[in-house]
Amino acid sequence: MSVRHLHQADLARRWNVSPRTLERWRWLGQGPRFLKIGGRVAYRIEDIEAFEAAQVRTISGSTREHRPAA
């Protein structure tokens, strides 16, 4: 089984944020789960996608999931 990873710079580009933002989030315990191997940081694609899914909002500040109207 092949697990795909993104490095900090790759994830920063994906989300259009600064790599320093990702560093700050790690320091604060925020953001997606990450791996630290030999001083290098990597993010598993599955953890990135889970974090993205958890950020879906219908109302600003709400944690409710977006559900299409029936």
What pLDDT digit, counting tens, does each position of 3-29 carry?
A: 699 999 999 999 999 999 999 999 999
Question: What is the sign, positive or negative, of the torsion defined by CA atoms of 27, 29, 33, 38?
Answer: positive
Q: What is the pTM of this model?
A: 0.75
What pLDDT digit, counting tens, does each position of 35-46 carry?
A: 999 999 999 999
